[in-house]
Amino acid sequence: MDLSALEKLCRQSCEIVEEVARFISHEVGEVSATDIETKSLNSLVSYVDKTAEEQLVSKLEKLLPGSTFLTEEETVAAEEGEFQWIIDPLDGTTNFLHQLPCFAVSVALRQNQEIILGIVYEVNRQECFYAWRGGGAFLNGKPIRVSARETLMDSLVATGFPYRDYDRMKSYFLAFEHFMKNTRGLRRFGAAAVDLAYVACGRFDIFFEYGLSSWDVAAGILLVEEAGGKVSDFGGGSNFLFGGEMVAAAPAVFGEALKVVETAFSKK
């Protein structure tokens, strides 16, 4: 797909995502306790997640006929294909259900295993972050770049606390302690897609987390890369889309951040 066609597809996809975000916004505070299901430990879902996903799948399938899907709520069968949408209809479901203002729609498109389009729409602030491969990254129509921070001490770090996989918790807190003592601070918003979007626009300088799913991060990966940032797994490799772990940061602090995480997680 050439750049002009990809840009057009991205902008059309943004319109679809915004429509779904408006639906989600209208449902804030409307979900009752009986509407909430527990999928697994601390993993919640309601009709809002499922309906939002169904809307996305229906509209994106019409936009790109023949494309396949990988979705969090599994409202459609997961299939491989030349073009595959990776969707989290509501990243930050727990925040949404508790009416805490940080949750988003995350949509990415892969072509032959390469992410070529990414959209993260933060519902509360009506902020649409989007990027297409080779075209840069944007927020509500304006170009964005990762921060120019040069030292760890000047950096603000985003993370997500372990909430269902506790096997690596000791290593996690070793990294957490180092960042706590050697940065401006850490923040935990509870939506990895938003964390990555904020790295892309320079609000955060570093993000690290484990226990991630592909739909949490697919769109955010492209946002960070197209905004000039770097992404890797905890070993500095490229297994971050499906590997469940990630470091993303501005270029000048990426190496130091990766070293902190790599060292912490290499200890038994």
* Structure confidence at residue 42 (pLDDT): 47
Percentage with pLDDT > 70 across the chain? 97
Q: Can you tell me the distance from the alpha carbon of 19 to that of 12, in angstroms, rounded to the nearest whole number?
A: 11
pTM for the whole structure: 0.95
Please name which of 258, 245, 253, 231 lies closest in space to residue 115, comparing C-alpha atoms: 231
pLDDT value for 221: 98
Instruction: Select the more confidently predicted residue: 200 or 73.
Output: 200
Record the tokens describing residue 167, joined without a space: 């096997």
Contacts 24+ apart (CB under 8 A), 53-59: 53/87, 53/89, 55/19, 55/20, 55/23, 56/16, 56/17, 56/20, 56/85, 56/87, 56/89, 56/105, 56/107, 57/85, 57/87, 59/16, 59/19, 59/20
What would the pLDDT profile of 151-184 be if each residue is shown by its tens digit?
A: 999 999 999 998 778 889 999 999 999 999 999 9
Structure tokens, 45? 């879902």
Lowest mean pLDDT among 8-17, 21-30, 122-131: 21-30
Q: What is the pLDDT of residues 86-145, one digit of tens each?
A: 999 999 999 999 999 999 999 999 999 999 999 999 999 999 999 999 999 999 999 999
- Please give the average per-residue pLDDT across 228-239, as a whole number: 97
207 has which bridge partners?
158, 248
The burial of 71, by beta-carbon neighbours within 10 Å (0-12 exposed, 13-18 middle, 19 or more buried), is given as buried
What are the structural domains, with CATH classification, of the chain?
A: 3-143 (3.30.540.10), 152-266 (3.40.190.80)
Cα separation of the two ends of the chain: 46
pLDDT at 40: 59
For residues 149 and 154, give the distance between their C-alpha atoms in angstroms, rounded to a whole number.
7
What's the confidence (pLDDT) of residue 31? 81
Dihedrals phi, psi of 84, to nearest 5 degrees = -130, 125
Distance of CA 31 to the CA centre of its chain: 24
